[in-house]
A = this chain, B = another copy of it.
Amino acid sequence: MHVTILLYENMTALDAIGPYEALSHVPGHEVVFVAKQAGPVTVDTGFLQLTATKALSEVERTDVLIIPGGGGSRALMQDEEVLSWVRRIHGGTRYTTSVCTGSLVLAAAGLLEGLEATSHWAYRHLLADYGATPIGERVVFQGKIVTAAGVSAGIDMALTLLARLANEEVAKAVQLAIEYDPQPPFDAGSPEKAGEALVALVRSLE
């Protein structure tokens, strides 16, 4: 299984590293990090660099494409080099996936027209501008296109995907290996649970 994760400036690191961790430890899986140019990419906080080992031009085909989100996705949505690469790679994938606002890149590439999709809760409504129907679910499968909600949802997406790529036993083994038995200290992970005051606070910082 060949998994390709797109890296770009001002992306959100966990969007990529969550799915990477769930998909990379399976025997026979190969994960490649790709960016416009090979080399280090600085994430949205400015505190961290992730290294792309290949340039877009070096990746012609993959089984699973993962587009993470983050503030830099806005620039990607206008970047015809990236969008045409996404369209081309999508033609040969088993699954084309996104985490967080990565779904807006798929949308801008024209891949979500007429489909249901999700994204980070604060940006999900923008999917409608591209002919998609925004859905408030954590992971949305539409044929071979899979979109996940914000940031941490990529872990749930990847484990769900892994059960389809391999089988449930493999997905459960990975869940156990990464000890994914989440126990959030608060129940504030969605706008509905967090309430209006916290939603307004987070929107003011985005």
Contacts and interface: CB of A to CB of B under 8 A. Distances in A.
Contact of A151 (B120, B180, B189): B180
Interface string A166-198: 001101110111111111111011110110001
B186 A175 contact: yes
Interface stretch (A9-17, A105-113, A126-134): A9-17
Contact of A159 (B21, B25, B155, B184): B184
Contact of A32 (B24, B47, B152): B47
Contacts of A31: 45, 47-48
Given A138-B183, A202-B173, A178 B14 contact: yes
A121 interface: yes
Given A45-B25, A185-B163, A179 B205 contact: no
A18 B14 contact: yes
B184 A175 contact: yes
A150 B25 CA distance: 15
Is the interface on chain A under 10, 10 to 19, 20 to 34, or 35 or more residues? 35 or more
A21 B25 contact: no
Interface in A16-40: 17-18, 20-21, 24-25, 27, 30-33, 40
A156 interface: yes
Given A47-B32, A156-B184, A183-B156, A151 B178 contact: yes
A172 B198 contact: yes
A176 B190 contact: yes
Interface of A: 12-14, 17-18, 20-21, 24-25, 27, 30-33, 40, 45, 47-51, 53, 100, 120-121, 138-139, 149-153, 155-156, 159-160, 163, 168-169, 171-173, 175-186, 188-191, 193-194, 198-199, 201-202, 205-206
